[in-house]
Amino acid sequence: MPSDPLVAQHVLEFPGGYTRTTGPVIGRFLSELRARRIVGARTAEGRVLVPPLEYDPATGEPVTGEYVEVGPAGTITTWAWVDEPLPGHPLDHPFAWALIKLDGADTALLHAVAADDPKALSAGSRVWPVWRDRPTGHITDLSHFVPEVTKIVSNVRAEYRLQAGGALRVFLEGVARGILLGSRCARCEKVYVPLRLACPECGSDLPDTLELPDTGTITTFAINNLPDPRAPEVPFVSAYILLDGADIPMIALIGDVPAHEVRQGMRVRAVWVPENERTASMANIRWFAPTGEPDVELT
């Protein structure tokens, strides 16, 4: 829009600012602020006015001369949210103007409250003052108020060096070569995969290591609709697969088939990553995919 020659800017500002005498009561209040204390004046009726006045506004009687330290925390009685602060506002990001009844006071003080969003505040919210670095004896010595601390973030981090030892090492070295190793219990003859050293059922050694085929039967499964970094998409199927010759199922991802076409009893085979991408890890098996054989009847 072209500038209108009949519109002009005009600033009215007394050079250096007005000098304003405080009188004894406000002067005491501001002096206390400079010392990072907030005080109110007691009225003849015993009420505590904050900020203090020289007189009781209800009766016109002078206040008693007794100063009472209040706060520093208080409770919001009512508030208005400021989405777009103006120049001269105490904060340059969204904040609330609030009436704050400081602990021990009978009247509320108007001040700014910083909060992340209006939902963080309500009538009854507890707030605490944030003091300006260099107090000068001005209401802005109280920079603003902030909500009471009700929560802290506690970072807990434990870093481990995990070493695949014993049975797991042997199993994963097999997986690196594209072979699934199991072991058979000397006493109950159950075949466990992954290979392990002791039978969970009877505690006996599992002395016989054997190679298991990478084919098996889905005994049961879940269709997961929650994303997981280990699954390529949602939904994904995690299935119990009883490898041929094993007595305990492994849990693995099912692929190359829509989730809702997976069946209990379905025959599947491991889909291995190319040989040059293999490591000593179960990531070598991308997933298990249907073989196309007829389903196995489960008992």
Partner 1 sequence: MGNRCAVIGVGQTYYTTKRRDVSIAGLVREAALRALEDAGLTFKDIDAVVIGKAPDLFEGVMMPEAYLADALGAAGKPMMRVHTAGSVGGSTALVGASLIQGGVHERVLVVAFEKQSESNATWALSTHLPFSASLVVGAGGYFAPHIREYMRRTGAPGHIGTLVAVKDRLNALKNPYAHLKIPGIDQKMVESTPMLWEPIRYLETCPSSDGACAIVLSSESAATGTPAWVHGAAMRSEPIFRAARDTVSPQAGKDCAADVYRQAGIADPRRQIDVAEVYVPFSWYEPMWLENLGFAAEGEGWKLTEAGATALDGDTPWNASGGVLSSNPIGASGLIRFAEAALQVRGMAGEHQVDGARTALGHAYGGGAQFFAMWIVGREKP
| Residues binding partner 1 (CB under 8 A) | 150-151, 154, 156, 162, 164, 168, 172, 188, 190-192, 200-201, 219-226, 228, 230-231, 235-236, 238-240, 247-248, 250-253, 264, 281-282, 285, 298
Instruction: Note the residue count of the chain.
Output: 299
Shortest CB 11 distance to partner 1, Å: 48
Q: How far is the CB of 1 from partner 1 (least distance, A)?
A: 51
Smallest gap, in angstroms, from Cβ of residue 162 to partner 1?
5
Burial class (CB in 10 A: 0-12, 13-18, 19+), 8: exposed
Residue with smaller CB distance to partner 1, 86 or 152: 152
296 vs 243: CA distance, rounded Å: 13
Handedness of CA 17, 129, 110, 85 (dihedral sign): positive
Q: How far apart are CA 84 and CA 81, in angstroms?
A: 9
Least distance CB 144 / partner 1 (angstroms): 23
Query: For residues 77 and 224, which CB has a smaller minimum distance to partner 1 in the complex?
Result: 224
* Residue in the structure block whose two tokens are 């506002």: 89
CA-atom Rg of the chain in angstroms: 38
Report the residue number, 107 or 125, with the smaller CB distance to partner 1.
125
Sequence-distant (6+) residues with CB within 8 A of 222 are: 237, 238, 239
- At residue 31, φ and ψ (nearest 5 deg) are -65, -40
Closer residue to partner 1 (CB): 54 or 211: 211
Smallest distance from the beta carbon of 27 to partner 1, in angstroms?
40
Q: From CA 41, how far away is CA 36, in angstroms rounded?
A: 17
> 281: which residues sit within 8 A by CB, 6+ positions away?
172, 175, 176
CB of 151 to partner 1, least distance (A): 7
Least separation, in Å, of the C-beta of 273 and partner 1? 13
Q: How far apart are CA 269 and CA 206, in angstroms?
A: 26
Distance separating alpha carbons of residues 196 and 145, to the nearest angstrom: 62
Distance in angstroms (rounded) separating the CA atoms of residues 171 and 158: 27
The residue among 91 and 259 lying less far from partner 1, judged by its C-beta, is 259
Which is nearer to partner 1, 108 or 248 (by Cβ)? 248
Question: What is the smallest separation between the CB atom of 112 and partner 1, expressed in angstroms?
Answer: 24
179/188 with CB nearer partner 1: 188
Q: Quick one: 139 or 168, whose CB is closer to partner 1?
A: 168
Rounded to whole angstroms, the Cα distance separating 239 from 217 reads: 10
Q: What residues contact 297, with CB distance under 8 A and at least 6 apart?
A: 265
